[in-house]
Amino acid sequence: MKIRSELLRAILESAKETYPYEFIALLTGDKGVIKELIFLPSISSKEIALIHLDMLPIGIRIYGTVHSHPSPCCEPSEEDFYFFTKFGKIHIIVCYPFTMKDWKCFDSRGEEIEIEIEQ
């Protein structure tokens, strides 16, 4: 699995813009490359971000999710682990201060995985 570098930068910028609140979106793409974000109505605070998955249009292929932590910790919370099991295979967490090194990727079981950044 890969993610486009410009998309990763856009994710980090979105996290900066919503700081100190969390931000959340869905990840989509094709041919094993994450290329776009899908934003659905969500609820966000300093502690949690919830997305209304019931509003997802039918037929869109979702690779997983992305959300921010307003702290310098990219480790998943208990709520994150639960959410990972419900939707998608790739889950990215970006954390403060939201630089290109302040993110981690996890699988549906919450295990940290590596994905390639595609230029």
Q: For residue 57, what is the domain's CATH number?
A: 3.40.140.10
Distance CA 23, CA 78 (A): 17
Percent share of the chain, pLDDT over 70: 100
N- to C-terminal Cα distance for the chain?
Answer: 14
Neighbours of 19 (CB within 10 A): 15
Output DSSP code: residue 112: E
- Collapsing DSSP states into helix, strand and coil, what is residue 50? strand
What is the reported pLDDT for 71?
A: 96
Q: pLDDT tens digits, residue range 19-71?
A: 999 999 999 999 999 999 999 877 777 777 778 777 777 888 899 999 999 99
> Which whole-number Å values give the CA distances from 85 to 81, 82, 97, in the listed order?
7, 6, 27
Q: Please tell me whether the overall predicted TM-score, pTM, comes out greater than 0.75 for this model.
A: yes
Say yes or no to pLDDT of 90 above 80: yes
Domain holding 17, by residue range, is: 2-118
> What domain count does the chain have?
1
Q: Quick count: other Cβ atoms within 10 Å of Cβ 10? A: 14
Name the residue with tokens 């390639």. Answer: 116
